Structure formats: structure tokens, C-alpha cells
Amino acid sequence: MKQYRNYINGEWVESARRFDDVNPVDGTVVAQVHEADREAVDSAIRAGHAAVRGAWGRTTVAERAAILCRIADEIDRRYDDFLAAEIADTGKPVAMASTIDIPRGAANFRVFADILKTAPLDTFQTDLPDGARALNYAVRKPLGVVGVISPWNLPLLLLTWKIAPALACGNAVVAKPSEETPGTATLLAEVMHTVGVPPGVFNLVHGFGPDSAGEFITTNDDIDAITFTGESRTGSAIMRAAATHVKPVSFELGGKNAAIIFADCDFEKMIDGMMRAVFLHSGQVCLCAERVYVERPIYNRFLDAFVERVKALKLGWPQDGTTGMGPLISAEHRDKVLSYFKLAREEGAQVLVGGGVPKFGDARDAGFWVEPTIITGLPQTARCIKEEVFGPICHVSPFDTEAEAIALANDTKYGLSATTWTGNLNRGHRVSEAMRVGLSWVNSWFLRDLRTPFGGVGLSGIGREGGMHSLNFYSELTNVCVRIDQEAVS
């Protein structure tokens, strides 16, 4: 049995309390995970501070950028190991993990290495009344020790999305991956060790939220900043903990994202895009569209085509390159999603396809599967329209005017992403800019430039990540002001 240990101050640390890492495809146990206690977390935070006060705190931009590139190279070298761990932990199809998760995990380090090397800083010169000048320039400094808490849906991608810029800015990190997906995080610790990241700079602690590693990180007085991706309720709890000591926080939380489809769209490209937007990773992506609004002239055509595509979606073993959708992450999450399938029927929804649990007649029947599901017929006030399901389900509604579509899409307490499909470029600009979200796509979905701002509004989060937005969050800017007197004329 594999053992996933904690990595603290450059050493592998075992613990007495352990829990199972379960493969969601068939319910088998992948590894035993060592749960960090409070003392282990405190030790990791102390090690981080020692590293920042020591040699790591004196590294140059060029030195840190070189380390980030070595980390990326080592992830590439161990690509097969990362791919196997990602699939075992999440059950996602190899077609997704091999093209998105692992490549992006390495790319995050390279991108932030490049951004760091060219990151600008403000410089201003002020002419003073007495003939002297003032030169103001900014200096970028690390925050200190950053607590990184990452989710289970894109475990390597979203962990590295936070760790790479944090290290680039000279911080130390104490990272807690989701208890559901500890495998790639443990491999990342091995990579850090192999490439020579100094002890204490990267620390990994396994565990849960309340009364476990997550709480021990967020309530520790010596954590200097917290970044979290996950449920809105958990983000609220972390914010309360951080408020006591006024610590900076960056949250990417839930979403109830909308898709708006106009009759003048490229229909086939739109159908392809919407299959991804609704069912990628079984709908377990924060950016997935759970509310679909279709202009009435193509409403029935859309439903017919979309249902047929969903019926053809292959639920299979993740190693099979033709598999289109995998399981949900856990039995608990499957129960949650199934409860929304039941609620939809109780609220009066018409289930066009799916709505249950598939039967395979093999080991997959012990896994955590549900059917991809399309529903219609609910009012805008229904809970299934208002609450995030985070599964392979969408509700489809018709609309008649552009203004109506915008109002329906914005009728939510969330505000993470939206996607608009239209052949009218002017309309595409108008509608996408009118969306009350952090990310708004036109004729595409999940198309990302890592330099651009990423984040949400409302219950979907606080702050922005990506490019300079990440570097500015993970660093403290000090303004240096120097008075330069006019040289005396002889």
C-alpha cells in the first residue's frame, strides 16, 4: 500500500492518524494518507519563516525563476507518474488529464518564471518647489508564509496555480491539498526535493478542514496570507478566521454559471463547446455551465441535438482514450448530486436524459457514478436554478430578447463565469461585458491565457489570480522615496 506522507522542512513526516485515498472509479483504496496534527502544521509554518529569514529570502529574481523552471522540467520528466496519480485520485478520463491537468501543472511554473523576470515596478520622479527632486520607486517583498488550500477537482493544476507565483515572489508555502486527491501533491513534494528547493520553502500537510490541517493553517497567527479554492461556505469560514489578524485572502469559490445561446451562432461549434462546458470532468469544474439559456427560434433544435450528444457520451474506464466522462469524486458528493436530481423532479422539472445512476455490470458499480443529465421546465426561482450542484447537470430555458437573456444570466448570487454564443460580434461584446462575472467567454469556453485575471464576484470569490494579479497578491510593495537636492552651482 502506498503511503502519502507529509513533507515538512525538507523531510518526510509520518503521523499516527491515517485515512484512505479512494479511487472513485471502483471504490478501491489507492493509498494510506498521513494526517498532519496541529504540531506538524505549526512545525511547517515555523520552517517556512526560517526559510524566508534565511537564504531563500535573499534569492534573486533570476535564481527563483531558474528554480521554477527546474520544477517544471521535473514534472515533465515524471509526466507518467503524475498522470497515473491524477487519474487514480479523480477518475477523470486520460484525454482530459493528459492534455489539461498535467501540462498546465508544469506550465504554471514556467509562466510565472517568465512573468517574474519581466514584472514591472512603479517609478515616479517629482519636481519640488525648491528645485530638488523626489525619486519614488517600489520594491517587491515576500509576504512570508502563505497557506495554500486547494480543491479536489483539478488537484495539480490549481495547487501549482497558487504555489508557482507564491514561490516566485520569495514566499514559503504550507500547502494542504484536498483529502480526496493527495497523490499529485505528494509527487510535487518529491519534485521539490529532487530539484533542490531549500528546506522549509515548500511544505505539504495532509488532512481535512475542521479540527484538522485546514483549520490549523487558517487559524495560526503566524500564517501571513491565505489562498483558497473551494466551496463558498468554506471560504466564508476561512475569512472569519483570517479577519482576526487582518490577513490578506484570495478566494476562488463556487459558481452557478450561465450560457447564453443566440439563434445566429455557429450551431455545431456551439454544441461541441456546450458539451465541454456542461460535462467536462462530470461537471466538477467551477467554470461549468449549469444554467443554459437558448433563444427561442433554436430552442427545440438545441434540445434535440444536445440530448442526442449526451446519449452518445461514453462513461468508461479513465484509461480508455474514448471515454467522455468519468465518475464523481466521492460517495458523499454522489449523494449530494443525486439529491439535486431528486429535488429537480420534486420542483417539477422534466428530465430529458439521465437523472440516475448507470449500471455497468463490473467493478465500476462500486464507484461513484451518475448519469449526465439535462432538465427543463423549472421557474427561475427553483432551488435547482439557484444552488450550485457541481455535477453533470444543466437546466435549459428559452428566452426571446437580448435584455431578457442578460437579466436571467445575472439573476444569481454567484458570479464566476459566463459563455455567450453568437455570430454577431457587436452582440458578443455587449452581452459578455454585461455579465456580472469575473470571466466572460464569447464563442468559446475554458480558453485561458494565464496572464489574464481569474476570479469571481459575489459568492464566487474575492480577488484575482493570474499574471501580475498573482504577483501583486503574493508580495508586499514598499515605496522608497529619496529626496535629491539640487547640486550647488560653483
Amino acid at 63: E
C-alpha gyration radius of the chain: 24
Residue 486 DSSP code: P
CA distances from residue 222 to 50, 68, 115, 143, 239 in whole angstroms, order as listed: 12, 25, 28, 11, 16
Asked if 438 and 455 touch (Cβ cutoff 8 Å), the reply is: yes
Q: Distance (Å, rounded) from C-alpha 66 to C-alpha 74?
A: 12
> CA 393, 395, 397: angle at the middle one, nearest 5?
160
The DSSP-derived string for 206-223 is B--STTSHHHHHHT-TT-
Asked if 259 and 374 touch (Cβ cutoff 8 Å), the reply is: no
Alpha-carbon torsion angle 419, 421, 427, 433, nearest 10: 10
Q: Distance (Å, rounded) from C-alpha 439 to C-alpha 432?
A: 9
Asked if 105 and 184 touch (Cβ cutoff 8 Å), the reply is: yes
| Lookup result for grid cell 446519449 | 311
> CA 389, 391, 392: angle at the middle one, nearest 5?
130
Which residues are CB-neighbours of 11 under 8 A, at least 6 positions away? 199
Nine-digit cell string for 416? 464566476
Q: Distance (Å, rounded) from C-alpha 177 to C-alpha 39?
A: 18
Which residues are CB-neighbours of 427 under 8 A, at least 6 positions away? 262, 402, 420
**CB hemisphere CA count around 359 (13 angstroms):** 1
Nine-digit cell string for 65? 525563476
For the sheet with 439-442, list strands across it.
350-353, 373-376, 393-399, 289-295, 257-261, 417-421, 439-442
Q: Catalytic residue, from 252, 371, 388, 465: name it.
A: 252
CA distances from residue 105 to 68, 99, 100, 472 in whole angstroms, order as listed: 12, 11, 8, 21
Nine-digit cell string for 165? 507565483
Helix (H) or strand (E) holding 457: none
Residue 87, strand partner residues: none
CA distances from residue 140 to 66, 189, 224, 336 in whole angstroms, order as listed: 18, 27, 16, 44
| Lookup result for grid cell 461584446 | 429
**For this structure, is 252 an active site residue?**
yes
CA quadruple 148, 335, 278, 232: dihedral positive or negative?
negative
Q: Which residues are catalytic?
A: 252
